[in-house]
Every structure is written in structure tokens, then in C-alpha cells.
Amino acid sequence: MVSSSWPRPDSRSYLPILARIDNFFYMLTLTGSQAPIIVAASYTSNDSLKKLSRDRVIRAIERVVAKQPALGQVFVRQPSKRGKDQLWIARLPSLNAEDCISFIDHDEKDPAEASRWMLENIMGQWFDLLDTSKPYWRATVVNMKTIYFAFNHIVCDGRSGIYFHRDLLTALNDIEDQKAVSAPQHFVTCTDAFPDHFEEMIAKHTTSYLFWFVIKYLLQIIVEFFLWPKYIAFGDMKKYPIKPDIKRMAPPEERIKNKIVSLRIKPKTMQKILTECRTKSTTFTAFLDTVLNTSICADIYPGALIVRTGIVVDFRSFCKWPYEEVMCNMAGSWTKLRWTRPFFAIGRPTPAAEVGSNLEDGEINTDIPAFWAMAKHRKDHMNKYLKWGAIQEFLALAVTPSYIDDFTYQIWGKSLSTTRNYTSQISNLVSLMPREADKAREWRFTDTDWASSTHRTCIGPSLNITVTSAPDADCVINFIYIEGSYDPEAIPRIVQVAKARIGQIIGDRGEGLTMRA
């Protein structure tokens, strides 16, 4: 057995050295550069007088832990033969229920604002990766109705949060009311194998993918040299580089603090948008991407020459394993530099807007036919290049070192501080739907929300945009950014413009949209 001076879990179940994507998430956490991810869902019974109970929730989560291997994993640093540390994955044989679940009550006079506040609050509760006696996830049950599943990105991705809630809904429906049976104090973890999609992706795709990524990366450096930061959207973003130290967990004062501005679209309005998208041969993701870029280029940064946006991609459909809903990290991103002029032309400001107008009165400009043409183009472009581009960027991890010490300094070096830092990134989980077998059963979803922490602005995207919805519930779009990186009114202004533009495009003057900050 390997020896180490680092804290060790009681488990003796060690697995092979981790892929380098795990090094990345490990480094981000220890340096205080990426907070937890949260996927929330509200549950209700067919009996309107019935609520979730502590015992029922604990017993249901016990079943999810027994099914999903990711929920029992921790990460251990081990000295390598070269005298440098590598990460190993270890499985805890059991988890203490009190380390996994907490129950709280919270005022919900405005449920939407309460959800936004809870996301911000829970994102500030970091998991200490050096404490290998506890899991890197937690379920917070609010008012016996809404469950916020928070986890470190090293455990799994946002899509996995959907799988957690679908598993939990099934378990809630399977459990019978047994008042005589007390809830367990420990959860036995799953012993199934962990997915190794990283190596599969490298083996499956040729080195030409990586070659073209390197070429594009060099071009980005050239663009940055000539245009950075004056002529790039988000160029006024403040960077706060730090000297990395992964021998300890960053103290609270050195950790980023995420802020969230929430935009909600009512079901009737959302249905109208989706109908228009189908009529115009596009998708909601392409629609939102076009709204965002038009608003940024025409109304927020009209002097910018280039804008960079990204789309998060689920790699599960590209790999042989796993086909089923297994929680793991299988997400990548496709980012692209684009000229701002086409978007500026779509939303060229009117004279009134240029001097400061009331956006709620619709005093912004949108060339609606040109907008829909661009949204269709964006959809077609995504269909053609999304997979290819995302795999290129994912494979860039193949050239990073496997040693955590070397990886840290390479990632934090100036060579990686390019236009990627001035990126807005959209991650759409689509709708939180129950499994077919759960649709006619007692418990069901009534609402959902989610937020993915952005990165410290010197190494990652400056603005995360997360999207999700539940049947007959609002579509929730959260704009997540780091406190102090922008003027306090900058991101709320972007959301306000986007809200007004969506209302203008669908012709309801924003009546079906609400914003909270």
C-alpha cells in the first residue's frame, strides 16, 4: 500500500491515479478559485397536505448513495516516484448521514428570491478536499420541500445533479411510510467502478483535434496581444491573480464569492418562445446565445470588436460508457471568438437608448428578422462544430502534466491568461423531468434551480449562465459572477437589457419575465 503524510480516509479501497481533469478541479478548489455547484428541486405529493419527512428524505438519499459510486469518493495526494504529488481516488465504505444532509427553515414570501439567496448562500459553503473523512457533497432540505444538492466539481458535473434528483424522486416514491423504522445514521456507498471517460476520449479521437486546438490557441494569443483588453467585451473585468498554494485549503478570505442575478420566464411565455424557436428552425440555447451577444455587443460594450461566448457540452453521447444516468464529470465547453459587428447591427441602439432610457418601456432596438436569422445560424453552427470544438478543448488537458505540483504552475502561468477570461458561458440542463415510471406516482417535481460557480477571473470564464426548468414551472436563467470583478451594476444591467430584448422579440413587453438581483 502507498504511504503518505496527507490525511487518509478509513477506506482501504484505492483506485488508479486520476485523470488530469481531476487535477484541475482539485487545484481550483484548494486555491479558492471555484465554489460548489448546486442543483435544486422542489418536491410535492399528490396529497396537498403532505410534506416530506426527515426519515423519508434520509432513507431516500441512502438509496441514492448506494446506487451512485461518485457519492462515496474522496481524493488523496500521494508522493510519486519523482518526488512530486499525484492524486489518487479512494472510496469511503460508508458515510455519516449527518455529514450528508441538513434540514433548515427559511422565509419564502418570495420563493424565487428565496431560491436565488439560497444558491448564493450554499455556494459560500466550501468542501475541504484535504479532509478525506467526509464526502464532497451535501443535501440541504429547506422547509421540507426543496432539496439543494451541493457538490464540488471534482465529484461530478451539473448534469449529474439532475440524475441525483431523478434517483431521489424514484426512491421517495419507492419508500413506504414506515413510522416504526428509524432513519439510518450511516450510508453504505456503491462499489461499482468509476467511469474513465477521459482516457476514452483521448483514445477515441485523433491528435488532429489537439493540433487544431493549439493553432486556435496561438491565434487567441495574437488577438489578445493586439486587442486586449480595450476592444474585447468584458474588457473592464478586474483580475485578481494570486500565488497558488495547494499545500493547504485557501482560507475564507482568499476564496471567491459568487453573486447571482436571476431571470425567470413564466411557463406561458416560455412556451411562446419555444414555439417561435421551432417555427424559426432554431433552439432555445441558440436563442439565448443570440439575445446575450446582441445585448452585450449593442448595449453594454458597443465599442468592442470581438466577443467570446461558450456553450457547455455533455460528452455522454460521445462515449460508450456510461449510457445510463451515472454521476460523473462528462462535460466540456466550446468557446468561440466572434466579431461584434453582426450582433451590434441587430441591436443597434436608438438615440434614446444611447442617452439612457427606461428599458422596461422597450426603448431598445432589435432587428427582429435579423435576430431570428442569426439564431438559426447559431443553431446550425453549433450542430456542425459543437462536438468538434468541445472535444478539441477537452483534449487540451492531455498536454498538461499529471503531477499536481507542475499542473498548478502551468495553469496559473500567464500563457493561459488569454481571451478565455473574458467569456460568458451558457450551460443548459433543459427540463428536470421525472422518469416515465415516476410520472403517475405520489411524489413529483414542482420547481428547480441551479447554479455553477464561475472561476477566479484570472483563469476562467468571467460569467456563467445556467438554465433549467421543471414541468409547469418557470424557466430559470441564473447569471453567476464573482463579486468585485465588475462594477456592481454591470451584470444586473446585462440581465435587464436581455430581459427587455426578449420581451420585445416575443411581443409581450417583458410581462412574462421577472428579474431578481
Q: Which helix (H) or strand (E) holds 423?
A: strand 423-431
211-242: b (≥16 Cβ within 10 Å) or e: eebeeebeebeebbeebbbeebbbbebeeeee
pLDDT of 350: 56
* Paired strand residues for 261: 479
pLDDT band at 77 (very low <50, low <70, confident <90, very high): confident
Q: Where are the beta strands (DSSP E) in 204-319?
A: 258-265, 306-314
Q: Is the pLDDT score of 4 beyond 70?
A: no
The residue among 41 and 107 whose pLDDT is bigger is 41
Q: What is the pLDDT of residues 401-449, one digit of tens each?
A: 676 766 655 555 544 445 566 788 999 998 999 999 999 999 999 999 9
- Residues 25-37, buried b or exposed e (16+ Cβ, 10 A)? bbbbbbbbbbbbb
Query: Which single residue is written with the C-alpha cell 412574462?
Result: 512
Would you state the CATH architecture of domain 202-432+455-516? 2-Layer Sandwich (3.30)
Confidence of residue 515 (pLDDT cuts 50, 70, 90): very high
Answer whether residue 153 shows pLDDT above 90. Answer: yes
Q: How distant, in Å, are the alpha carbons of 288, 319, 362, 365 from that of 371?
A: 11, 35, 16, 11
Q: Determine whether 508 is exposed, middle or buried from the number of CB atoms within 10 Å of its CB (0-12, 13-18, 19+).
A: middle
State what percent of residues in the chain have pLDDT above 90.
Answer: 52
Pick the range with the lowest mean pLDDT from 179-183, 280-284, 305-309, 366-370. Answer: 179-183
What pLDDT does 361 receive?
Answer: 46
Cα–Cα distance measured from residue 499 to residue 236, given in angstroms and rounded to the nearest whole number: 22
- How many Å apart are CA 213 and CA 78, to the nearest integer? 32
pLDDT at residue 354, as a whole number: 46
Q: What is the pLDDT of residue 429?
A: 93
Q: Is 350 helix (H, G, I), strand (E, B) or coil?
A: coil
Hey, what's the cell of 196?
474513465
- Mean pLDDT for 152-178 is 93
Quote the pLDDT of residue 43.
98
Which has more pLDDT, 25 or 467? Answer: 467
* Same topology between domain 13-188 and domain 202-432+455-516: yes
Provide the grid cell at 126.
466550501
Q: Are 489 and 517 in contact (CB under 8 A)?
A: no
Report the range of poorest mean pLDDT among 37-51, 194-208, 287-301.
194-208
Nearest to 317 by CA among 399, 421, 197: 197
Residue 199 has pLDDT above 80, yes or no: no
188-210 mean pLDDT: 69
User: Mean of the per-residue pLDDT values for the chain?
Assistant: 84
Tens digits of residue pLDDT in 331-380: 888 888 889 999 999 998 655 444 444 454 447 899 999 999 999 999 99
Tens-digit pLDDT profile for residues 452-483 = 998 876 666 679 999 999 999 999 999 999 99
For residue 187, the cross-strand partners are: 95
pLDDT at 496: 95
13-188 CATH: 3.30.559.10
pLDDT of residue 435: 95
Distance spanning both ends of the chain, measured CA to CA: 51
Residue 325 CA: distances (Å) to CA of 29, 432, 496: 26, 13, 36
pLDDT at 499: 96
pLDDT for 259 beyond 60? yes
Mean per-residue pLDDT, 178-191 = 83
> Stretch 170-199: mean pLDDT, rounded?
80
Tell me what pLDDT residue 203 has.
Answer: 58
Hey, where are the domains in the chain? 13-188, 202-432+455-516
